[in-house]
Amino acid sequence: MKFTIKSDLRSRVRIHLPMKKMTFREADTFDYYLNSFPEIIDAKVYERTADAVIIYNCSKVRITEIIKDFSFEKASVPERVFESSGRELSAEYTDKIVSDIILHYAKRIILPISIRRLWDGVKTVKYVIRGLKTIKNRHLQVELLDAVAISAAMITGDYRTASNVMFLLGIGDTLEEWTHKRSVSDLARQMSLNIDKVWVVTGDGELQIDSSEIACGDRVCIKMGNMIPFDGEVSDGEALVNQASMTGESVPVRKQVGSSVFAGTVVEEGELVITVTQTGGCGRFDRIVKMIEESEKLKSSLESSAERLADRLVPYTLAASAITYLLSRNVTKAVSVLMVDYSCALKLTMPLSVLSAIREAGDYGITVKGGRFLEAVADADTIVFDKTGTLTKACPTVKKVVSFCEESEDELLRQAACLEEHFPHSVARAVVDSALDKGLMHDEMHTKAEYIVAHGIASHIDGKKAVIGSYHFVFEDEGVIVLDDKKRLFEDLPDEYSHLYFAKDGKLCACILIEDPMREESADVVSKLREAGFEHIVMMTGDNEKTAAKIAAQAGITEYYSEVLPEDKAGYIEKAKLEGRHVVMVGDGINDSPALSASDAGIAISEGAEIARQIADITISSSDLESIVTLRRISMLLMDRIRFNYRAIVGFNTSLIGLGIAGVLPPSSSAMLHNGSTVALGLKSMTDLLPNMEKDIKK
């Protein structure tokens, strides 16, 4: 692709493609292409001018090569990118606002006074109807106050004030609608599916293939804890499916042969084979958007309280206007009171603040499913961490396989990988990856594998029962024994590693030593969280005491619990809440799901199990735990902004009412100052809470 350089600064370049403008699809294609390169920190494409601004961390020659290699025809972009793009939405609302401003001032210059008054009279009818509807619904809301104020201005002949009020109200409505839709669209895009591989059922068994290769009519197997990738109908199996992301139901729904299932829902217990009925993502994305728009989770308690207060203040404003008129017999003073209300600003700025904070969190790789969870994070004094994949790296590795039988270490690893590849856990991935690295390919040598949450996997290999999992599961639940001549070897297993036990026919065959090093940033993050106000920082793990103590010491955590089960984590959180504490839980696995549900705000690592991400209220990128510190800062600054907005609105508008009653401010000035301050606060509420931090743009 040919291009010209319009500006060239250090690590930042603005280029122009040889065209007058791009279509929305072309702009999204070029944007996706540029942001797919790790050398490019951020890239923004402007369709109106066919320009792109690129921030990079490599040589200028490399950037030139990337742009030259681009072609609209050859670029491969997933359809979901176009489905969820907010580019057309932003252009639509930008044009609308610009058109409204031009039209408002152009009519004053071009149209004669009589036509302008007729125009304003017609527009007034719309606001009067909106106000009357609130009376019909037996609610005195801000729409009624707007209707009375505009009508009073028209009746008293103050047409300019009425026109300005309607103009500012229109701009305010457009800004609110735009920000709400943009924030919801961003959130929906972050919640959209990103499933690369699926298990398809063929005549020769199960085969793992790219999800893009699936067509309608294919049969796909979904194991426990995994997300359903397509809409379909159950053709085999029975399971409990968590459908909260689509229907809002909190209780899992039983699915059996003949039942319909939705993409984006999660198999919580059991296993299903579905016949795919829809592979496209548009319907799924639309359902996510609808769910978010209708969800009360978007409202924090402060936001909801402000909106309820806004409606409660409407009658008092009307009463104040009536009393002013009765005492002064001055229509102008009474109208000045009507021109000012608390409701408009409260109802505009509070939702904008919350939705903008959710959008900003998304810029840092943090997906928040509602404003009340930001408030929960801000109020929290206790944070509970799972260990594996959370405080430790999301990619544990197999350090060694210790054989306790006649079979070789490689053969035992091959069999273990055959079992583990079906289930979503970082340790399972470590076993599978280790086998792949050694070139240990395998056929499906086992019978149906059964996953026992937080314990392990049970199946049969060559007619012998095979189990793999924790010490508790293998030795205590399954009664596996260690042969006498191998007991010394068993006792000498190093404690610095996590142990995964593999047994067949009731005898221990292998212990797989898993190295799960702590994340480099864990200790620093724990320290920052303590400085940010968390009084209790807790680590909970199913690992043995020595491994838990080692990681806790390295992370700077003094309160930790080892060898815990999922119900133990949830039980700790419930107990802490009964003591009056506000608890945040951070986890990544199926076994963390009960604790994530029990907490005031559950945070899931994005590369963890699908069910953890589904149940969690917040999802963060697993690349850096610093996101939790950023989340805490955004949450606390959001609460500060909401409180500031509340104080500013009440203080400023009370002053305007007082000046109006005293006759200092005429209605037009009161309306202008009131609506101007409302729009200003609304625009301020849309700004970033952390303006000076460099955002980690997630690819």
- The pLDDT of 576-592, averaged and rounded, is 86
Considering its fold, how many domains does the chain have in total? 5
- In the block, tokens 């009425």 appear at 162
Residue 291 scores a pLDDT above 70: no
pLDDT tier at 78 (50, 70, 90 boundaries)? confident
pLDDT tier at 295 (50, 70, 90 boundaries)? very low
Q: Which residue has the higher pLDDT, 162 or 510?
A: 510
Q: Do 148 and 131 touch, CB atoms closer than 8 A?
A: yes
Residue 673 scores a pLDDT above 60: yes
Q: How far apart are CA 579 and CA 573, in angstroms?
A: 10
Is 698 inside a domain boundary?
A: no
- The pLDDT of 601-622, averaged and rounded, is 73
Indicate the residue among 21, 45, 77 that finishes a domain: 77
Please tell me whether residues 411 and 496 are part of one structural domain.
Answer: yes
Is 640 inside a domain boundary?
A: yes
Please tell me whether residues 505 and 439 are part of one structural domain.
Answer: yes
Q: How far apart are CA 295 and CA 328, in angstroms?
A: 47
pLDDT tier at 524 (50, 70, 90 boundaries)? very high
Indicate the residue among 280, 310, 325 that finishes a domain: 280
Q: Look up the domain containing 207 and give its range.
A: 197-280
Is 85 inside a domain boundary?
A: no
Residue 19 scores a pLDDT above 80: yes
pLDDT tier at 223 (50, 70, 90 boundaries)? confident
Q: What is the 3-state secondary structure (H, E, C) of 36-104?
A: CCCCEEEEEEECCCCEEEEEECCCHHHHHHHHHCCCCCCCCCCHHHHHCCCHHHHHHHHHHHHHHHHHH
Q: Which two tokens stand for residue 70?
A: 């681009």
Residue 325 scores a pLDDT above 60: yes
**Residue 571 exposed, middle or buried by CB count within 10 Å (0-12, 13-18, 19+):** middle
pLDDT tier at 509 (50, 70, 90 boundaries)? very high
- How many CB atoms neighbour CB 319 within 10 A? 11
Q: How far apart are CA 310 and CA 322, in angstroms?
A: 19
How remote is the C-alpha of 65 from its chain's centroid?
Answer: 34
Q: How far apart are CA 575 and CA 538, in angstroms?
A: 14
Please tell me whether residues 99 and 181 are part of one structural domain.
Answer: yes
Minimum mean pLDDT among 108-117, 213-222, 290-299, 514-523: which range?
290-299
Q: Which phi and psi angles does 433 have, rounded to 5°? A: -65, -35
Please tell me whether residues 331 and 403 are part of one structural domain.
Answer: no
- The pLDDT of 34-55, averaged and rounded, is 90
pLDDT tier at 275 (50, 70, 90 boundaries)? very high
Q: What is the pLDDT of residue 282?
A: 45
Q: Which residue has the higher pLDDT, 174 or 343?
A: 174
Please tell me whether residues 428 and 444 are part of one structural domain.
Answer: yes
Is 568 inside a domain boundary?
A: yes
Please tell me whether residues 608 and 658 are part of one structural domain.
Answer: no
Residue 382 scores a pLDDT above 90: yes
Q: What is the pLDDT of residue 177?
A: 74
Q: What is the pLDDT of residue 185?
A: 63
Please tell me whether residues 341 and 401 are part of one structural domain.
Answer: no
Residue 469 scores a pLDDT above 50: yes
Please tell me whether residues 183 and 301 are part of one structural domain.
Answer: yes
Q: Do 612 and 590 touch, CB atoms closer than 8 A?
A: yes
- In the block, tokens 């457009």 appear at 174
403 SS3 class: strand
Q: Which residue has the higher pLDDT, 392 or 99?
A: 99
Is 227 inside a domain boundary?
A: yes
pLDDT tier at 187 (50, 70, 90 boundaries)? low
Is 699 inside a domain boundary?
A: no
User: Which CATH number covers residue 479?
Assistant: 3.40.1110.10
Is 143 inside a domain boundary?
A: yes
Q: Which two tokens stand for residue 296?
A: 């009360």
User: Which CATH number covers residue 53?
Assistant: 3.30.70
Please tell me whether residues 403 and 389 are part of one structural domain.
Answer: no
- The pLDDT of 138-142, averaged and rounded, is 67
Please tell me whether residues 329 and 342 are part of one structural domain.
Answer: yes
- The pLDDT of 367-384, averaged and rounded, is 88
Please tell me whether residues 468 and 441 are part of one structural domain.
Answer: yes
User: Which CATH number covers residue 616?
Assistant: 3.40.50.1000
Strands 559-561 and 536-540: parallel
- The pLDDT of 41-59, averaged and rounded, is 91
Q: Which two tokens stand for residue 175?
A: 């800004």
Query: Over the range 348-375, which residues count as b (16 or more CB within 10 Å of their CB) and which as e?
Result: bbbbbbbbbbbbbbbbbbbbbbbbbbbb
Please tell me whether residues 410 and 500 are part of one structural domain.
Answer: yes
Q: What is the pLDDT of residue 22?
A: 93
Averaged pLDDT score across all residues of the chain? 81
Q: Do 627 and 364 touch, CB atoms closer than 8 A?
A: yes
Residue 153 scores a pLDDT above 80: no
User: Which CATH number covers residue 258?
Assistant: 2.70.150.10
Q: What is the pLDDT of residue 60?
A: 87
Q: How far apart are CA 165 and CA 676, in angstroms?
A: 10
- Is the torsion defined by CA of 644, 645, 647, 651 positive or negative? positive
Residue 375 scores a pLDDT above 70: yes
pLDDT tier at 612 (50, 70, 90 boundaries)? low
**Helices of type H across 477-579:** 487-491, 522-531, 545-555, 566-578
Q: What is the pLDDT of residue 337?
A: 73
How remote is the C-alpha of 122 from its chain's centroid?
Answer: 43
Pick from 225, 252, 222: which is nearest to 237 by CA? 222
Q: What is the pLDDT of residue 172?
A: 67
Q: What is the pLDDT of residue 536?
A: 95
pTM of the model: 0.64
Indicate the residue among 483, 515, 547 that finishes a domain: 515
Radius of gyration of the chain (CA): 30
* pLDDT tens track for 346-361: 767 777 788 788 878 8
Residue 292 scores a pLDDT above 70: no
Is 331 inside a domain boundary?
A: yes
Residue 79 scores a pLDDT above 60: yes
Angle at 252 between CA 250 and CA 253, to 5 degrees: 120
- The pLDDT of 599-618, averaged and rounded, is 75
Residue 532 scores a pLDDT above 90: yes
For the chain, how many helices (H) and strands (E)?
Answer: 24, 24
Residue 454 scores a pLDDT above 80: no
pLDDT tier at 371 (50, 70, 90 boundaries)? confident
Q: Which two tokens stand for residue 44?
A: 């923004």
